[in-house]
A and B are shown apart, each in its own frame.
Chain A
Amino acid sequence: MAQVTFLEAIRQALFEEMERDPTVICLGEDIGVYGGAFKVTQGLLERFGWERVIETPIAETAIIGAACGMSYLGLRPVAEMQFIDFIGCCFNQITNFVAKSNYRWGAPVPMVVRGPSGGGVHGGPFHSANPEAYFVHTPGLKVVYPSTPYDAKGLLKSAIRDNNPVLFFEHKFLYRRIKEEIPDGDYTVPLGKAIVRREGRDLTIVTYAAMMHTSLEAAELLSKEGVEAEVIDLRTLLPLDRETIVQSVRKTNKLMVVHEDTKTGGMAGEIAAVVCEDAFEDLDGPILRVTSLDTPVPYAPSLEERFLPSVNDVVRTARELAKY
């Protein structure tokens, strides 16, 4: 077992998959000599060469399109968005070409689109995105958003091996801040399964990515007040693990969702609707949300702090919910 950072775990996954399977190829901007803007792909060029670590011009549509074309010949490309915010530039390719390919003409696209996402690093409005909502809303894609090094490695491996297009968001705040001991050797984490991070009986917090850690922190504070929160880490957003969420709600009868994405149209609304459909009679209180403000991500630290959900926000909402 070795202690690795979140970023390290991702790099290990790339290394091991490229080692294991010659059809795995990386493409993106500055991923070769430079090793990527965050050094995630450092060392890959040296080991696997120019044919498998392809440096592209600044052309997101071309990156995604080429990856799609490669998939048709049976390769498994891993395309990098230097910052996931730039996925907006290739929105058309992803949602119209890639996502619909299997449904329309039976041509699966076994590619992965990965990149650094999320805020809290003073990145400002264009380097802090959480774009999951656009793609969870697109049938044909899978969306993965891990929160721990163990999961990041295992999920990226599963994503690469999956025959469908997977968007893999790596929360940049966690890149070097989170360390964990992970096992040696090959292991995978299945897509589409959430996990209970902390057991509790008074209320359920459903969350993912960086907010998972915030929620755990909040759960500890709540415990001191006699409120035991159960924390569920979704890990995969599409397909959503309804079963795990519902089972928890059946136990605690109270639900709140915490995510860093903005409120309107975000995952929390979707989860609330799912729980109303599947477990209405188990609810002893309203479904509450803790999210970022409905604004673009501001730059100044004081503004960004106000924008992002804090531990206090989670605790406060949980207290409110517990009162019901």
Chain B
Amino acid sequence: MKYPLTREQHLELYYYMRLNRQLEEQMVRLFRQNKIIGGLYSSSGQEAISVGTAYALEKRDWVAPMIRNLGALLVKGFRPRDIFTQHMARYTSPTKGKDGTSHFGSLKEHHVVAPISMLGDLIPVMTGVAMAGRYLGQEIVALTWIGDGGSSTGAFHEGMGLAASQRAPLVCVIENNQWAYSTPVSRQVPVRNLVERAKAYGVAGYIVDGNDANAVYQTTKEAVERCRAGHGPVIIEAKTHRMKGHAQHDAAEYVPKEMVEYWKARDPIARYERFLTQNKLWNAKIKEEIDTRIEKEIREDQEFAENSPFPPPELAEEGVYCEGPLPNEAEWLRPIEEVMPPKAGAKPAWTVKDFGGLEHPTPEVVAESSSDGTAAAAQKAERASKRTKKVAKARAAALSRGRR
């Protein structure tokens, strides 16, 4: 491993993944007892991604979780009680009951940006966070996640475009869990590896087995270091599978049974347990300690949440505007003179190195439409390519005739 972890760190990774899973399982029970209202999402099977990526960040770095990144929130420092109270709409929740599910954040303490329900919008926002952090000299990295489905949105595209053109220190983790609600990824995008888009944006791209927590950690750590060093944004595609439905109300019967079995055998937590055992990083006693600790935390925090009051009705009228000072004043970690005149300032003129023309005969096929796997389609593409080359040849000939 390029970035070796201590035993404690390995155990911590495991602890967070287990806490993630058990917390969510408990929330399912609470949902079925009608104590959690609205909708409930789960990251079952994807814990290694949330935990592994977040674990590779430093405390000063910023994240923006999506609905299946509860594990990252735990790594960042939120407690199960925060998750419980959010889902149970209690006054003690991080949003005082104003919003639900994973729509909460923390500007000063945990550096977490709260998501909205629309997908892709976090990419430009985290690009802004990354740019601001750089501007203030904070040397932070902004990291967010997006699903295979969410990466179809315009917001994703615009955000990556801006991040790339600004070389923003942004890490975007595409969690390809094979399903966007009920749509398999092949129907969303005719590209097998979504990370191929990195090339289109001119940014670095990594691909990793999302159910291997160690691999996820290593990959993210490398990506984060690149960003921090100023090499621009990184897209990491983590392959995984959504083991449950889109939400509690979705039984996901559209997922073929064989696919579920395939991925069940690759469950991230079971895998990590085997890793810990094989590398003698733990024993039965340590496992039991972790189990007990998790069970106690969940039980105590659930009790706290259940004993918490609902927000008072008057709260509905409050908070539309910020009436007082900013809670998050800018933290300057570089001399302000650098961004003020006379030190700041640039010549308002362009230096254009590449005038942009093509120096060789056209047309040139640089990309083929992706085949859908059948031989017929592949042959069709082959014939089209031959035709294009034939036309090009004839045109070149005509051109040279005309010149004479």
Partners in one complex: yes
B124 touching A65 by the CB < 8 A rule?
yes
With contacts A74-B330, A96-B116 known, is A106 near B321, CB below 8 A? no
- CB-defined interface of B6-29 with A at 8 Å, one 1/0 digit per residue? 000000000000000000000000
Expressed in whole angstroms, the Cα–Cα distance for A96 and B117 within the complex equals: 9
Q: Does A193 contact B (CB under 8 A)?
A: no
Chain A contacts of B105 at CB under 8 A? 105, 107
Q: Does A179 contact B (CB under 8 A)?
A: no
Q: Which residue of B lies closest to A79 (CB)?
A: B128
Q: Which residue of A lies closest to B130 (CB)?
A: A69
A49 touching B128 by the CB < 8 A rule?
no
A59 touching B161 by the CB < 8 A rule?
yes
With contacts A33-B350, A72-B107 known, is A105 near B114, CB below 8 A? yes
Expressed in whole angstroms, the Cα–Cα distance for A92 and B18 within the complex equals: 36
Chain B contacts of A164 at CB under 8 A? 321-322
Chain B contacts of A56 at CB under 8 A? 162, 165
**Contacting chain A: which of B95-103, B211-219, B221-229, B395-403?**
B95-103
Q: Which residue of B lies closest to A100 (CB)?
A: B116
Q: Does B349 contact A (CB under 8 A)?
A: yes
Q: Which residue of A lies closest to B316 (CB)?
A: A103
With contacts A104-B95, A105-B103 known, is A66 near B326, CB below 8 A? no
With contacts A50-B346, A52-B339, A104-B99 known, is A25 near B135, CB below 8 A? yes
Q: Does B80 contact A (CB under 8 A)?
A: no
A75 touching B327 by the CB < 8 A rule?
no
Expressed in whole angstroms, the Cα–Cα distance for A67 and B105 within the complex equals: 18
B320 touching A139 by the CB < 8 A rule?
yes
The residue among A45, A48, A65, A92 with the most chain B CB atoms within 10 A of its own CB is A65
Contact of B133 among A33, A65, A73 (CB under 8 A): A73
Expressed in whole angstroms, the Cα–Cα distance for A107 and B98 within the complex equals: 12
**Contacting chain A: which of B151-159, B288-296, B359-367?**
B151-159
A73 touching B136 by the CB < 8 A rule?
yes
A64 → chain B closest CB, angstroms:
7
- CB-defined interface of A98-128 with B at 8 Å, one 1/0 digit per residue? 0011111111101000000000000000000
Q: Does A68 contact B (CB under 8 A)?
A: yes
Q: Which residue of B lies closest to A52 (CB)?
A: B339
B344 touching A48 by the CB < 8 A rule?
yes
Contact of A65 among B125, B135, B330, B348 (CB under 8 A): B125
B166 → chain A closest CB, angstroms:
7
Q: Which residue of B lies closest to A104 (CB)?
A: B99
B158 touching A62 by the CB < 8 A rule?
yes
B98 touching A68 by the CB < 8 A rule?
no
A46 touching B347 by the CB < 8 A rule?
yes
Q: Does A309 contact B (CB under 8 A)?
A: no
B164 → chain A closest CB, angstroms:
9
Q: Does B73 contact A (CB under 8 A)?
A: no
List which B126-183 residues lie within 8 A (CB) of chain A: 126-133, 135-136, 138, 142, 154-155, 158-159, 161-162, 165-166
Chain B contacts of A163 at CB under 8 A? 322, 324-326
- CB-defined interface of B105-126 with A at 8 Å, one 1/0 digit per residue? 1010000011011100101111
B92 → chain A closest CB, angstroms:
14
List which B190-209 residues lie within 8 A (CB) of chain A: none
Contact of A92 among B121, B336, B339 (CB under 8 A): B121
Interface size of A in residues (CB-CB distance below 8 Å): 57
Contact of B159 among A33, A48, A62 (CB under 8 A): A62
B124 touching A62 by the CB < 8 A rule?
yes
Q: Which residue of B lies closest to A110 (CB)?
A: B326
With contacts A72-B328, A106-B327, A108-B326 known, is A61 near B158, CB below 8 A? yes
A298 → chain B closest CB, angstroms:
29
Interface size of B in residues (CB-CB distance below 8 Å): 61
B325 → chain A closest CB, angstroms:
7
Expressed in whole angstroms, the Cα–Cα distance for A61 and B156 within the complex equals: 9
Q: Does A70 contact B (CB under 8 A)?
A: yes
Q: Does A187 contact B (CB under 8 A)?
A: no
With contacts A104-B95, A139-B320 known, is A68 near B166, CB below 8 A? no
B131 touching A70 by the CB < 8 A rule?
yes
Chain B contacts of A189 at CB under 8 A? none
Chain B contacts of A158 at CB under 8 A? none
Q: Does B256 contact A (CB under 8 A)?
A: no
Q: Does B258 contact A (CB under 8 A)?
A: no
A44 → chain B closest CB, angstroms:
9
Contact of A73 among B114, B162, B330, B336 (CB under 8 A): B330
Q: Does A57 contact B (CB under 8 A)?
A: yes
List which A62-90 residues lie within 8 A (CB) of chain B: 62-75, 77
Q: Does A286 contact B (CB under 8 A)?
A: no
Q: Does B210 contact A (CB under 8 A)?
A: no
B135 touching A75 by the CB < 8 A rule?
yes
A66 touching B328 by the CB < 8 A rule?
no
Chain A contacts of B99 at CB under 8 A? 104-105
B120 → chain A closest CB, angstroms:
8
Q: List 25 A-B contacts (CB under 8 A).
A: A33-B349, A46-B347, A49-B345, A57-B165, A61-B124, A61-B155, A61-B159, A62-B124, A62-B127, A62-B155, A62-B158, A63-B124, A63-B162, A65-B127, A66-B125, A67-B128, A69-B126, A70-B128, A70-B131, A73-B331, A74-B330, A97-B121, A105-B99, A105-B114, A110-B322
List 7 extra interface pairs beyond A97-B116, A105-B114, CB under 8 A: A46-B348, A48-B344, A57-B165, A59-B158, A61-B158, A103-B320, A105-B99
